[in-house]
Homo-oligomer: A and B are copies of this chain.
Amino acid sequence: MIRQTKQRQAILEAVEGSHDHPTAAQVYDRVRRVLPGVGFATVYRNLGTLAEGGMIREIRVGEVTQYDRRTDRHDHAVCRRCGKLVDVMVPLPIEVLQAALEQSGFQVAGHHTEVFGLCSECR
């Protein structure tokens, strides 16, 4: 059974309280302010656990892994200059994907679109 610990709770709160999309290292830093003795292994382990449990979402964009408090399906736009990640919902009906993959026999379960370009500050 999944236990409630102060570390796990603090890690979840660190992600849920973020309006950006923190990396594991950033979550570690934020949690350390509340629980100075926390180990980074605990943070990594719990980010994985929480993502598996569907409480947070793990997004890999480019070479970095980031965590998102939003668990509903949505897409992301990445700034090529500063790396900033912006949430966006790209309207893409599943039928369009199914049609595109029809001949390959691929069964579509989900999708994620990454848009790249320049954010408002960098353009």
B86 touches A91 (CB 8 A): no
Q: How many A residues, CB 8 Å from partner?
A: 34
Could you say how many copies of this chain the assembly holds? Answer: 2
B88 touches A101 (CB 8 A): yes
Given contacts A90-B96, A92-B92, contact A115 B111 (CB under 8 A): yes
A97 proximity list for chain B (CB < 8 A): 90, 115
B86 touches A90 (CB 8 A): no
Chain A stretch 50-64: residues in CB contact (< 8 A) with chain B: 60, 62-63
Output the least CB separation between A118 and chain B (Å): 4
A115 touches B101 (CB 8 A): yes
Partner of A123, one of B63, B107, B113, B118: B107
A112 proximity list for chain B (CB < 8 A): 113-114, 116
Residues of A near any B CB (own CB < 8 A)? 60, 62-63, 77, 79-80, 86, 88-92, 96-97, 100-101, 104-120, 123
